[in-house]
Amino acid sequence: MAAITDLDALLREMRPVLQDKEYVYCLAAPEEAVNYFAQALAMFREQEGVTLILERSLADAANLAYGPVMCCIMLTVHSALEAVGLTAAVSVALTRHGISANVVAAYHHDHIFVPAGDAERALLALKEAAPV
């Protein structure tokens, strides 16, 4: 199936699914980050170091410091990387419910990281945002 660019179609077909693991954002020096390449859900290099998104259990086992515990909601629609407005629509839907979000766009899907305590409410908010 081809990636979708139309915002109405993206919202109608996004079908958010809450993943069953907890994730955390950690910071590592580039020479340390390579040790987590196979385990990281995502990595992003910044001037200050490498951000790792890891399962909480992996970060705990490695004794890595991290911030808030997050859950991931995957939008199962195949969204095009050049699609306009999906991130904004998701942000607005979650903002209406006072839920913070960190969006990671991958090749096929968008992944919304929300505080673990807000995960169920976030899932409902995203389902409500989809036009019927």
pLDDT 10s digits, 41-55: 999 999 999 999 999
Range list of β-strands (E), 3-99: 16-28, 42-46, 49-55, 70-75
DSSP H or E stretch at residue 110 = strand 110-115
Mean pLDDT along residues 12-24: 96
Residue position matching structure tokens 């179609």? 9
Strands ordered across the beta sheet of 70-75:
42-46, 49-55, 16-28, 70-75, 110-115, 102-105
Each residue's pLDDT tens digit, 84-132: 999 999 999 999 999 999 999 999 999 999 999 999 999 999 999 887 6
CATH code of the region 7-129: 3.30.2130.10
Q: Where are the domains of the chain?
A: 7-129
Mean pLDDT along residues 16-30: 96
Pairwise CA distance, residues 66 & 83, whole Å = 31
Residue 81 burial by CB count (10 A; 0-12/13-18/19+): exposed, middle or buried?
Answer: exposed
Task: Name beta bridge partners: 44.
Answer: 51
Q: Which pLDDT does position 132 carry in this prediction?
A: 61
Q: Which pLDDT does position 125 carry in this prediction?
A: 97
Pairwise CA distance, residues 55 & 53, whole Å = 7
Checking if the pLDDT of 56 tops 90, the result is: yes
Cα Rg of the chain, angstroms: 15
Q: Would you give the DSSP letter of residue 125?
A: H
Checking if the pLDDT of 73 tops 80, the result is: yes
Q: Residues of the chain with pLDDT > 90: what percent? A: 93
